[in-house]
Amino acid sequence: MTKIVVVGSYVVDLMCRTPHFPKPGETVLGGPFKMGPGGKGGNQATAAARCGAQVTFITKVGQDIFGKEALEHFQKEEMNTKFIKVDSEEPTGTALITVDKNGENSIVVALGACGKITEADVMEAEEVIKDANIVLLQLETSIEAVVTSVKLAQKYNVPVILNPAPYQEFPKEILKYISYITPNETEAFELSGIEVKDPQTALEAAKKIYHMGVQSVIITMGGQGAFLYTGEKEGKFIPSYKVEAIDTTGAGDAFNGGLAYALSKGNSIIEAVQFANSVAALSVTKIGTAPAMPYKEDIENFLRGKGLLVP
């Protein structure tokens, strides 16, 4: 079984459907309301675990009911929870999510405890990082945690996926130690200064990010698909799979969890992106984030139906 270490955020998702996003000062009658496990780190860890990986998740939660529910969720998903710390001062993070009738979402995150992950917290997990097939990171936590994780992975030659979301400034010198970076259009613009609208502009942005030192650039473009660039002249656009989207929240996290799993299994980068696209596609057919992540059997059936390789 492949071993993936995810370092990042856990927040509880407080999600409500809305007929439209409220204008400033407007109150909208919506519903239904759902509460469940979330956060980019937690979602990606759940996605990778449901694909079939052995996942260790490194995060922090509060000493509250949300923190207790977080531990129960990750234990149910059969992850290694040894490095999920409980903070006695900070509350568990929360995400306030609205989803409109078209499945689009708007999110405000209060990181709470997971924004306080320290260098020491990550260093405690040195042995599992050393033994991992891949390390998966996001920017929805402390930059200290991200930098420490990158340095540890580099020390043991463990490939790193950095999902630079939600975008915040970070030391760009770590990019030379990043094997794969997975920005969406907004994050690609923050990194490159180039607005991504189509495969041609994605190529321009990807080239600029690649020359910052990253080995492989994968720009996710929502329902269009993903653009892959590894230094060749043109790059490759890999289209998404068309499904009826109910809730797009967490689709990027599904993609990253699926990508980590496929790469850790030894699949080629193109095969891994195709697999990740399938995980993302299935995730948007259900409501929620971590609870909407598809299971291995569903992914395999979906891929077989498309005549594609199952990792």
Residue 182 has pLDDT above 70, yes or no: yes
CA 66/CA 12 separation, integer angstroms? 7
The answer on pLDDT for 307 being more than 80 is: no
Residue 282 has pLDDT above 90, yes or no: yes
In the predicted model, is pLDDT for residue 169 greater than 90?
A: yes
State the alpha helices, DSSP H only, in 23-114: 40-51, 65-76
Catalytic site positions: 253
Mean pLDDT value across residues 187-214: 97
* DSSP tally for the chain: helices H, then strands E: 10, 13
pLDDT of residue 233: 80
Q: Give me the pLDDT at residue 306, please.
A: 77
The residue type at 163: N
Q: What percent of the chain shows pLDDT beyond 70?
A: 99
Residues making up the chain, counted from first to last: 311
Tokens of 157: 């030659």
Give the residue numbers of the binding site for ATP: 184, 220-225, 252-253, 277
Residue 245 has what pLDDT?
86
Q: Is the pLDDT of residue 310 over 70?
A: no
Known binding-site positions for K(+) = 247, 249, 283, 286, 288
Average pLDDT over every residue of 166-174: 96
pLDDT band at 105 (very low <50, low <70, confident <90, very high): confident
- Over residues 136-165, the mean pLDDT reads 97
CA 69/CA 81 separation, integer angstroms: 13
DSSP per position, 12-41: EEEEEE-SSPPPTT-------EEEEEE-HH
Residue scoring higher pLDDT (248 or 190): 190
Q: Is the pLDDT of residue 279 over 70?
A: yes
Among 243, 286, 307, 279, smallest CA distance to 52 is for: 279
In this prediction, residues 278-284 reach a mean pLDDT of 96
For the record, the structure tokens of 248 come out as 């797009």
Range among 30-44, 142-156, 222-236, 244-258 rated most confident: 142-156
Single out the residue of 2, 34, 29 nearest to residue 16, CA to CA: 34
- Tell me the domain boundaries of the chain: 3-10+39-89+115-305
For residues 257 and 44, give the distance between their C-alpha atoms in angstroms, rounded to a whole number: 5
**Hey, what amino acid is at 257?**
G
Q: Report the SS3 class of residue 155.
A: helix
pLDDT average, residue stretch 85-110: 91
Of 95-104, 107-116, 178-187, 239-248, the range with the highest mean pLDDT is 178-187
State the binding site: 11-13, 39-43, 140, 184, 220-225, 247, 249, 252-253, 277, 283, 286, 288
What is the reported pTM? 0.93
CATH code linked to domain 3-10+39-89+115-305: 3.40.1190.20
**C-alpha to C-alpha distance for 18 and 28, rounded to whole angstroms:** 7
Check whether 96 has a pLDDT greater than 90.
yes
- Look at residue 62 and tell me whether its pLDDT is greater than 90: yes
Quick check: 60 and 113 in contact, CB under 8 A?
A: yes
